[in-house]
Homo-oligomer: A and B are copies of this chain.
Amino acid sequence: MTHDSLTHDSLTIGVDIGGTKIAAGVVTASGQIWARTMRATDPADPDQIEAAVADAVAELVAQYPEVTAVGAAAAGFVGPDRTTMLFAPNIAWRNHPLGARLAERIGLPVVIENDANAAAWAEYRFGNGRGAANMVMLTLGTGLGGAVICDGHLVRGAFGAAAELGHMTIVPDGHYCGCGQEGCWEAYSSGTALAKLARNVAVADPEGARPMLAIADGEPLTGAHVTAAARQGDPVATGLLVRFGRYLGLGVATLAAVVDPGLVVVGGGIAAAAGDLILPAAREGFLAKLSGRGFRGELDIVTAALANDAGLIGAADSARTLDPAVAVAGAAVPVPA
């Protein structure tokens, strides 16, 4: 393998390793996906996951033998070498040399990336974050994930644990978070948090919650029910999304104080479904808490462009742009030039 083989013209493969499935694709230097495949996985069986990744990659390499490298994204803390999975919340990886093991199976250089980092990188390179060298990505899913790009570089941190943005404390002694702490941003701004907020309103104000409950039709309230009710003009549901947005903006203001991004890209299911209802309140909440207003630039908050492909695309591009000194070269087979 030579440095030149990792050019921007080359094709790379991105793999998004989720809890129960992996998605893989061949990605061009301009972020296009030329081929895709998927595999089901068992989060309790790391060996099976690695075999499935290798199998999916082999399928794609068979179609595009000119592929030069592989990037794999997964939830968890990734070591500064970008090959070791220090800790994963959903898979039994603890200080696991994932990159080296995959490279051995695959026979190509492999780089490991945190999934939120990968998605952010994709948005930065090809999505709504293009050109924003100082950018924060927030992913509003079950939890609140994130990534920070400073001066065109992903911030990974001393322990590979940077951009655990959902665990910034925004309310001292506030809501319990899944991490055991109190007042984490994720406990106010995530799908789980929105559902919990709605369910508690249904207890505290059953009359006011009636339209949401009617939509839920006997199911436990979710963010989707809140959004649907808000779209029908229900003031309580609308109020919940405004409150949700304000918390989002509160955390963004703290991010502005730390890394001063020019842009915040908000992805994840809630952003896709209700971004138009949430983001104005988020911006209002952000501005209301911004220090030095009038003497400094004010960031924009936008929704993400790439949806579920962001992780795959970002991982692939991360592999393309990696420093060859860092990549874990595949040992088994010669790397195609």
Contact = CB atoms under 8 A, between A and B. Distances in A.
Given A150-B150, A175-B176, A292 B167 contact: yes
Interface string A175-212: 11111111010001000000010001111111100000
A38 to B, nearest CB: 29
Number of copies: 4
Interface string A63-98: 000000000000001000000001100000010000
Nearest to A95: B295
A164 B255 CA distance: 10
B205 A293 contact: yes
Given A86-B296, A176-B175, A291-B204, A258 B260 contact: no
B175 A202 contact: no
B294 A206 contact: yes
A233 interface: no
Interface residues of A, number: 74
Interface stretch (A7-15, A24-32, A115-123, A151-159): A151-159
Nearest to A196: B176
B155 A250 contact: no
B158 A134 contact: yes
Given A132-B158, A206-B294, A257 B77 contact: no
B204 A168 contact: no
B172 A175 contact: no
Contacts of A288: 205
B291 A177 contact: yes
Contacts of A196: 176
Contact of A292 (B161, B289, B293): B161
Contact of A174 (B155, B160, B174, B181): B174
A289 B250 contact: no
B156 A153 contact: no
A148 interface: yes
Contact of A165 (B202, B257, B263): B257
Nearest to A260: B157
A269 to B, nearest CB: 22
Contacts of A184: 291
A259 interface: yes
Given A173-B174, A174-B171, A203-B179, A148 B292 contact: no
12 contacts: A87-B292, A94-B295, A150-B150, A153-B153, A155-B260, A159-B297, A161-B296, A164-B256, A169-B170, A174-B174, A180-B204, A207-B294
